[in-house]
A = this chain, B = another copy of it.
Amino acid sequence: MSPPSRRTGRPRSVEADRAILGATRAALVELGWGKLTMGDVAARAGVAKTTLYRRWAGKNELVVDAVAAVFDEHLMSADCGSLRADIENVVVRFAELLELPETKTALMAVVAEATQDEALGARVRSAIVDRQKRLVLIGRERAQLRGELPREEDPGAAARNADLIFDVIAGSVVHRLLVSAEPVDAEWAQGFSTLLLQGLAAAAQPGGTTENGGGGPGGQNPAGSV
């Protein structure tokens, strides 16, 4: 997994790694993704451009790691006492995170680049996305301990379910903030949580995700029953 762990030659400076990521973050705050340049980051870090390129293939990769560090700092999953409270909390915290000047533009830009560069996409997912997804798993676990959600028996279905929930939460918040350009406040978080909690309840029902498959006429009962 690790590179053959060279043991010859001068070892890479861990100091430099820290300085570069810090400089990248500072540059993101000051200049934004668009005006950030490798040369500027190097200068801020007191480092040669070569040193950047030895570690990161380019601006995209560097920014992914810098943003990942910001995410790691803000990652948390406080137990708020109920599933609803946990969801509202994570929504608001995630929104706060996306409002930081160093993440907002950079994250979207990197995701855009990732559509053309599979390796970059993998890096984004492993360094940023998957770590956030962990919060969903933890939240579900807690809800199950509280008895708010039943334990799922099929591990495959459980994983698919977690993926769906994560895409819905993260996607909705991002879209609200960055596309619709509207704030994610307590009110919006409540409305969203209400919607999501009902969905979780339905998904938890046996066969919930496969019932009424064709979507053909006559399938109006889930909402029609209200």
Chain A positions within 8 Å of B, measured between CB atoms, are 32-35, 80-85, 88-89, 104-109, 111-116, 121, 124-125, 129, 143, 146-150, 160-161, 163-164, 166-168, 170-176, 178-182, 186-205, 208-213, 215-220, 222-226
Contacts and interface: CB of A to CB of B under 8 A. Distances in A.
Given A198-B198, A198-B201, A82 B115 contact: no
A167 B194 CA distance: 15
Given A34-B113, A115-B108, A168-B192, A222 B197 contact: yes
Given A194-B202, A204-B226, A148 B112 contact: no
A226 B125 CA distance: 33
A190 B167 contact: no
B195 A199 contact: yes
A200 B181 contact: no
Contacts of A180: 125, 129, 163, 166-167
B168 A195 contact: yes
B178 A167 contact: no
Chain A's interface: helix, strand, loop or mixed, by majority?
A: helix
A200 B174 CA distance: 20
Given A174-B171, A175-B174, A190-B210, A198 B222 contact: yes
Contact of A129 (B82, B179, B205): B179
B121 A112 contact: no
A148 B220 contact: yes
Contacts of A114: 178, 181
Counting chain B CB atoms within 10 Å of each CB, the highest count among A124, A163, A181 belongs to A181
Given A89-B215, A219-B84, A220-B83, A226 B205 contact: yes
Contact of A216 (B35, B82, B124): B82
Given A129-B180, A190-B215, 13 more contacts: A33-B113, A82-B215, A82-B218, A84-B220, A85-B216, A109-B113, A121-B181, A149-B223, A167-B180, A168-B192, A171-B179, A194-B202, A195-B196
